[in-house]
Amino acid sequence: MTAATITRGNPEAALCAFTFDDGPMRISIDAWLEALEQGGARGTFFLTGEWFDRHPQKARELLARGHELAMHTYHHRRMAEVSRDVFFEELQLAELAYQEATGRPAPAILRFPYASYREENLEWLREWDYLLVEGEDTVDWSGPPSAQLVERAIPALIPGAILVFHANENAKETPQAVRSLVRHAQAEGLASVPVSELLHADGIPIRERAWQVRFKAAPSSAFLGEQWRRVEEGEELRRLAADSLEWGNPKAPTGAGAYGKWLEMLSAAVQAEGETRFAARSFAGQHWAYARASVKGGTLVLEDFATKEAHADALVYVLQWAAHEASAAGCGWISTALDMRRIRKLCEQMGIEAEIVRLNG
């Protein structure tokens, strides 16, 4: 059995989808967002794992603005030419990049780069519950002027349509064309929605795929326990909220009112009952990290953490705290769905057993 291939939505629903492949590496994606949003449209962006790794904050911003992000492999490979092992490695790396950038499980919808795949690839996609999403190719990757793009796309802009564009350096005329096409869709009574909403109208669900890194609890004699204190309500919590909001945590809110929302979220964590552990690392009058964990099934689960410094070595302090807490709770293992690749590499360097495994299947 092969993966389902979606080329359009329900022709009875007054919906259409504007989709974009790749993600620009050297120019801003904002022009594409503005073109959609000026007409009240929301798009689906099939982006590479490399893009997620380079632009995690922009990825979270796109989601917050109501757009949808989906898989486009990690390295933009021609998947018809790769082995089975490389095929699944590309998917896994893309999913990990998505999850680490956004703090969310990855949606199992994909578009192949260059539309390059063979029949066997569809069988492999099915193994991971993926949907292949194609559509009407506007050929904007060839760089035609916007007027030509509009002329080519209008006949295809009908109920259920999925239009395929690009958001990269080769498609600089696309935003201008999209503005015109969104207006045309409105005039035709079509709402421009993400692919998931288009498929929902047809009763087609999109599965999610999540990962976690699982590693052995190995207490370290280098653990600086005096720098870690339990987080409690009050002025320190307010300072921690203000400090950590600037650390790039994917779970932290953005935009207007972000501080108040973040303080409320941290306050709820402080008030949580049961086996929750919430501590912050501070010295020299500054916060440098925080970590929150709970015990589930004999494993210490790191549910949230962030560090002031972005380099991987700052994570060592968090891992040492987690190992200390796991040992105190009688847990032999620690797991987290955050920063998985760096944690696995650090564990490898420190001689700690670690692996990345599926969280939901």
pLDDT on residue 1: 60
Domain count, the chain: 2
Query: In terms of domains, do 72 and 193 share one?
Result: yes
Query: In terms of domains, do 36 and 132 share one?
Result: yes
Query: In terms of domains, do 202 and 272 share one?
Result: no
- pLDDT confidence tier of residue 271, bands split at 50, 70 and 90: confident
Q: How many CA atoms lie within 13 A of 135 on its CB side?
A: 32
Domain that includes residue 94, residue range: 5-209
Report the CATH number that the domain containing residue 294 is assigned in CATH.
3.40.630.30
Instruction: For Cα atoms 74, 360, 53, give the angle at the middle one, nearest 5 degrees.
Output: 25
Of residues 27, 16, 5, 9, the one with CA closest to residue 166? 27
Query: In terms of domains, do 327 and 195 share one?
Result: no
Task: Give pTM, 2 decimals.
Answer: 0.93
pLDDT digits (tens, 9 = 90+) for 272-326: 766 689 999 998 888 999 999 999 989 999 999 999 998 888 999 999 999 999 9
Of residues 75, 16, 18, 34, the one with CA closest to residue 51? 75
- 111-125, 210-224, 240-254, 313-327, range with the lowest pLDDT: 240-254
Q: Tell which of 181, 209, 237 closes a domain.
A: 209
* Confidence check: pLDDT of 132 > 60: yes
3-class secondary-structure state, position 310 = coil
Name the β-bridge partners of 131.
109
- pLDDT confidence tier of residue 122, bands split at 50, 70 and 90: very high
* Confidence check: pLDDT of 361 > 60: no
C-alpha to C-alpha distance for 126 and 106, rounded to whole angstroms:
16
C-alpha to C-alpha distance for 155 and 187, rounded to whole angstroms:
14
Instruction: Name every residue whose Cβ is closer than 8 Å to that of residue 95 and which is 6 or more positions away in sequence.
Output: 49, 71, 106, 209, 211
Q: Which residue has the tokens 């295809």?
A: 156
